[in-house]
Amino acid sequence: MLELKNIELRQGTFALHASFSVDPAARAAVIGPSGAGKSTLLMALAGFLKPASGQLSWDGADITSTAPSARPFSVLFQDNNLFPHMSVAQNVGLGVRPSLRLSAKDKTRVQEALLSVGLLGMDERKPAELSGGQQSRVALARVLVQRKPMLLLDEPFAALGPALKIEMLDLVAELCEKLGAGLLMVSHDPEDARRICENTILVADGLAHAPTATDDLLDNPPEPLRAYLGK
Ligand code: ADP
């Protein structure tokens, strides 16, 4: 279980509180108004922002001060962060070893990840030689090779058109199932949540709420979500 115990996050004058548990094997969306703190929450879980107070724990172990690379999460942000001068295989290999000194076993892992995102045979291409959807798949493969128990995605497919976005969301859901990985996914589109996340965490008015069933939340939105959805 991932537990946030009386967590307070601060960015300048902004403050966000969170106190709840997340099922590490489930898929949860993180939605709420712009500027509400969704990215802040993910940054803190990933270990890039230290909580002002409170405790984060994973399977009962305190990970509040654990280095990002030692946390049970792999993270994918919106801009993909692919290195243009590196090949597809090297970009994915960075997920296994930042030094890129890959053993034969590591290289197999890279190939397996490329296969799982449908990019086998594209290893030598540079990101510029790929479509936007394929670039997203490379970024996803780099996250998958890390073999962490949970994926944290921050609007990773927001730049894609609707059809491609749906394809990537379904791929994420399928891979999470296959790998037995959990998911926390920030999205500005509630339909993304409905599509692949059984639970949703609403972030609004300085509070990250406990995960609730996505359909219940979206069908009967509380006031801050109603305002956001324009209902
Ligand atoms: P969301 O992802 O929901 O759009 P963010 O987590 O990006 O919201 O931002 C939450 C709040 O934190 C915003 O009010 C934003 O202005 C503030 N904020 C974000 N980053 C910084 C920063 N580096 N310094 C000061 N304030 C920040």
Rounded distance from Cα 208 to ligand 1 centre (Å): 14
Q: What are phi and psi of 121, to 5 degrees?
A: 90, -5
Ligand 1 contact, 11 CB (< 6 A): yes
Residue pair 205/14 in contact by the 8 Å Cβ criterion:
no
Residues in contact with 162: Cβ distance below 8 Å, sequence separation at least 6, in sequence order: none
Cβ count within 10 A of residue 64: 16
Q: What's the length of the chain?
A: 231
Strand spans (E) along the chain: 2-11, 14-22, 27-31, 53-58, 61-62, 73-76, 150-154, 182-186, 199-204, 207-208, 212-213
Can you give the pLDDT at residue 70?
94
pLDDT, tens digit, for every residue of 126-150?
999 999 889 999 999 999 999 999 9
| CA-based nearest residue to 31, from 176, 223, 164, 229 | 229
Can you give the pLDDT at residue 231?
73
Ligand 1 contact, 34 CB (< 6 A): yes
| CA-based nearest residue to 165, from 128, 123, 193 | 193
Ligand 1 contact, 37 CB (< 6 A): yes
Cβ count within 10 A of residue 60: 7
Largest CA distance in the chain: 55
Can you give the pLDDT at residue 81?
82
Rounded distance from Cα 175 to ligand 1 centre (Å): 30
Rounded distance from Cα 24 to ligand 1 centre (Å): 26
Can you give the pLDDT at residue 208?
98
Can you give the pLDDT at residue 227?
86
User: Residues of the chain whose pLDDT is less than 50?
Assistant: none
The number of angstroms, rounded, from the C-alpha of 148 to the middle of its chain's C-alpha atoms is 11
Ligand 1 contact, 35 CB (< 6 A): yes
